[in-house]
Structure 1
């Protein structure tokens, strides 16, 4: 049992320990950027304005009750309105407060928002296959690069899935969320890491429910090749790294 002790302690609230720590915020160290920068000359995809008209099932009771991890997808594309809605549902900015903190569609400890959303787009109408990053302030997509044999690469990244092998490559989109831990560490020091894991759970559950509301299905993926996907996306694996994946596709009738 002792080999579990360290990880079990990580799951507990360590607020009393935190009270005795002087965080970087308390030390007057400048807050890190909450949004990752990008080259203004990059190729940008303007996303449609999010509208409730995209939703086909607005009954939240039914969406919660019908939510399942979906690993079998229809051979049918998603449209750009649907992708726009899913991105807004998971990281969309709804308000910026007087302190300059972004308030989003998901809760986040101290509004630190340590996540970036990367997309492996395989089957979305009007969108070139490839790798993209979501720009939440502008509600746009940054095209990063094409990826040869993107489906095979997803197979390599997602390793051996225990229930339905190779399902992720058959989705319309693979979401890949990274974390930049220092955005949270600056404010919460050693207590940040538990908060980050809690917060990414909020993000993924919103994806599940939003997918359900547009007759799509999502499946979270926690088994993946860390080094491979970090290297592919140009992340250093320390200051920023992938923390969670989720495949999304239209449901079979």
Structure 2
């Protein structure tokens, strides 16, 4: 059992130890940028405002009850309204507090929001296949680049899936969430990493329930090639790296 001890300790609250630490925030060090910047000349795609009329089911009880990890998808594309709604449901900004921190559709420790949402879009109406990033402040899509052999690249990234091999390459969209840990470390020091993992779970669960409400399905993916996916997105693998994936598509 000894090999598990260190990691089990990570799962526990270490608040007593945290209280002894002077965090970078308490030292007065500058807060890291809250959202990853981008070049002004970058191609942006306007997203329609999230609208409840997009939903096919507005009954939250039903959505929770019928939620399943879905690995089979139809060829029906997601609409831009549906994609906009899913992005809003997972990282959408709904307000700001007195300190200027963004309030979003998902809970997050100290409103640190260490995540960026990247998308491998395969089947969204009127959106070319390629790699994109969601800009929550502007509620826009940032086009990054086209990707040759996109389905093959998804296979390479998602490795051996135990239940339905290669299912992710048939999804309409593959969500890839990265974390910039210092956004949380600045405020929470050594306790940040447990919080980051808890917070990304909130994000993915919102994707599950939002997908269910538009007759789509989601499957979270924790088995992936870390180095390959970070390299694909141009991430350094240390200050920013992918932490979770999820495939989304219309149900058969």
SS of equivalent to 1:8? helix
Query: How far does residue 45 in structure 1 lie from its aligned partner after superposition?
Result: 0.4
Query: How far does residue 222 in structure 1 lie from its aligned partner after superposition?
Result: 0.1
Correspondence for 1:147: 147
The alignment yields a C-alpha RMSD, in angstroms, of 0.3
Correspondence for 1:234: 234
CA distance in 2, matches of 1:215, 1:206: 14
Correspondence for 1:116: 116
SS of equivalent to 1:160? coil
SS of equivalent to 1:116? strand
CA distance in 1, matches of 2:49, 2:202: 23
Correspondence for 2:178: 178
- CA deviation profile, 1:147-201 (whole Å, cap 9, x unmatched): 0010000000000000000000000000000000000000000000000000000
CA distance in 2, matches of 1:126, 1:42: 19
Moved over 6 A (4+): none
Correspondence for 1:50: 50
Q: TM-score, normalised by structure 2?
A: 1.00
CA distance in 2, matches of 1:55, 1:14: 41
SS of equivalent to 2:95? strand
CA distance in 2, matches of 1:231, 1:193: 22
Query: How far does residue 236 in structure 1 lie from its aligned partner after superposition?
Result: 0.1
Correspondence for 1:198: 198
Query: How far does residue 96 in structure 1 lie from its aligned partner after superposition?
Result: 1.2
Residue 10 (structure 2) pairs with residue 27 (structure 1): no
CA distance in 2, matches of 1:164, 1:61: 28
Structure 1 stretches of 5 or more lacking a match? none
Residue 168 (structure 2) pairs with residue 168 (structure 1): yes
Query: How far does residue 98 in structure 1 lie from its aligned partner after superposition?
Result: 1.7
CA distance in 2, matches of 1:17, 1:65: 40
SS of equivalent to 2:87? helix
Query: How far does residue 34 in structure 1 lie from its aligned partner after superposition?
Result: 0.7
CA distance in 1, matches of 2:100, 2:30: 14
CA distance in 1, matches of 2:3, 2:49: 50
SS of equivalent to 1:33? coil
CA distance in 1, matches of 2:133, 2:96: 21
Q: TM-score, normalised by structure 1?
A: 0.99
SS of equivalent to 2:249? strand
Structure 2 stretches of 5 or more lacking a match? none
Query: How far does residue 23 in structure 1 lie from its aligned partner after superposition?
Result: 0.2
Correspondence for 2:247: 247
SS of equivalent to 1:100? coil
Q: Note the 1:7-18 alignment, pairs <5 A.
A: 7-18=7-18
CA distance in 2, matches of 1:56, 1:26: 47
Residue 216 (structure 2) pairs with residue 216 (structure 1): yes
SS of equivalent to 2:29? coil
CA distance in 2, matches of 1:105, 1:188: 22
Correspondence for 2:76: 76
